[in-house]
Amino acid sequence: MNSPAPMAAIFGMAGLSLTAAERAFFLRSRPAGYILFARNIDKPSQVIALVRDLRALDSSYDPVVLIDQEGGRVQRLKPPHWRHAPPMADFGVLHARDPGKASEGLRLNNRMIGAELAALGIDVDCAPCMDVPVEGAHDIIGDRAFGRDPAVVAALSPPACEGLIDAGVVPVIKHIPGHGRAASDSHKELPVVSDDLTTLRANDFAPFKALCATPLQDLCFAMTAHVVYQAIDSQRPATTSKAVINDIIRGEIGFRGLLMSDDLGMKALTGPFDARAAAALDAGCDLVLHCEGDPAEMEAVAKGTGPLRANGQRALAAVVGIRRRPRAPVLDMAASGFRVADLLRHG
């Protein structure tokens, strides 16, 4: 008999190891995955033990383990145990000088990130950031993006994804359909974008649409933006908007893989956590994400979340298979690091 589908949720946890209460909650709720933050990370042996503990909770299914390891100012694994990777904007600068070398360096850089994650048992990286910042936007995206030209973002997103996939790690393209023109930080408040649909299509949506026209989209997750696009739905952010998810993300952009929400705990969203979770899933998200590790909030999210639906199960199975694919040869991390640095400096 097949085991029941896991819960359509990804949860964080409070510390370096599971508490008894977290262990009991995760056993009961069976989330589809877990996400790690700096508070969960000390040294490699500790992270490996935590990831193994999470996966050993229930042998009837295979949860994914996520992290934000973009490079630059957003990376949870830091020196001295892990490399400090450059921000993605550096590769956009290199692209202006030499597009080929930018793609080479970026794929190698992200393969190095992926190799570090895979060594710990982490199989999903919440990267790359495919947003296109505009003049006057909040700097929450900033140098996390490849640049302000949608053509450059479209050109560099595939090698960024390919580098992670080479290492057996699933990329998460974000923040679909685009966070780059938001004038506020969605961690703190709800951004509202008033630009017309023609502008959004030509700029914000374009890199996502370009990637979704390739086979790469079948090897990626996508993460929604907690942003209101008034030209599409003036009342709800993308995460909880059927119009944005059905008409734009699934329709115009054409993303057919596993769609997850950004963190339900961000202040862009309001209301009880069970209602937040239910609204995101009802709008068309396959998974909801809750990051803080707060026990009461997690219980509420679980209350508003059902089992992973059939489409989500198929998409999850497809991308989880990445870590079982034959890997590229093992990297010489020191030589690879020198090559990336040399390309960025002199390429």
Residue 158, domain member (yes or no): yes
Token pair for 283: 């709008």
DSSP 271: S
Asked if 197 contacts 204 with a C-beta cutoff of 8 angstroms, the reply is no
Residue 289, domain member (yes or no): yes
Residue 89, domain member (yes or no): yes
Query: What local confidence, expressed as pLDDT, does residue 326 receive?
Result: 67
What does the DSSP assignment read for 161-217?
A: HHHHHHTT-EEEEEEET--TT-SS-TTTS--EE---HHHHHHTTSHHHHHHHTSGGG
User: How many CB atoms lie under 10 A from the CB of residue 135?
Assistant: 6
The yes-or-no verdict on residue 1 having pLDDT over 60 is no
* Residue 98 is a catalytic residue: no
Beta bridge partners of 10: 33, 289
Question: Cα dist. 113→85, 124, 144, 165, 336 in Å?
Answer: 8, 11, 15, 11, 11
Is the peptide bond between 272 and the residue preceding it cis, with omega within 30 degrees of 0? Answer: no
Coil vs helix vs strand at 114: helix
The yes-or-no verdict on residue 120 having pLDDT over 80 is yes
Mean pLDDT for 170-187 is 96
Element (H, E) at 65: strand 64-67
Element (H, E) at 69: strand 69-71
Residue 6, domain member (yes or no): no
Q: Which residue range is the domain that position 301 belongs to?
A: 15-346
Write down the catalytic residue from 187, 282, 342, 346.
Answer: 187
Question: Cα dist. 199→47, 62, 112, 132, 181 in Å?
Answer: 44, 41, 36, 12, 11
Nearest 5°: the CA angle 247, 239, 312 is: 80
How would you class 79 by CB atoms within 10 Å of its CB: exposed for 0-12, middle for 13-18, buried for 19 or more? exposed
Q: Give dist(CA 301, CA 290) in Å, integer.
A: 8
Give the residue among 304, 198, 287, 307 at the shortest CA–CA distance from 245. 287
Query: What local confidence, expressed as pLDDT, does residue 329 receive?
Result: 76
Mean pLDDT for 290-302 is 97
Give per-residue pLDDT as tens, 69-118: 999 999 999 999 999 999 999 999 999 999 999 999 999 999 999 999 99
Residue 340, domain member (yes or no): yes
Residue 3, domain member (yes or no): no
Q: Give dist(CA 193, CA 18) in Å, integer.
A: 40
Give the residue among 324, 344, 336 at the shortest CA–CA distance from 163. 336
Token pair for 291: 């990051």
Give per-residue pLDDT as tens, 190-247: 999 999 999 999 999 999 999 999 999 999 999 999 999 999 999 999 999 999 999 9
Q: Give dist(CA 245, CA 250) in Å, integer.
A: 6
Packed helices 99-120 and 44-56: angle between N→C axes, nearest 10 degrees: 70
Residue 86, domain member (yes or no): yes
Give per-residue pLDDT as tens, 314-344: 888 877 777 777 666 778 999 999 999 999 9
Please give the tally of structural domains in the chain.
1
Residue 8, domain member (yes or no): no
User: How many CB atoms lie under 10 A from the CB of residue 246?
Assistant: 12
* Residue 262 is a catalytic residue: yes
Global confidence as pTM: 0.96
**CATH of residue 19:** 3.20.20.300
Write down the catalytic residue from 131, 262, 263, 286.
Answer: 262
Q: Give dist(CA 257, CA 344) in Å, integer.
A: 33
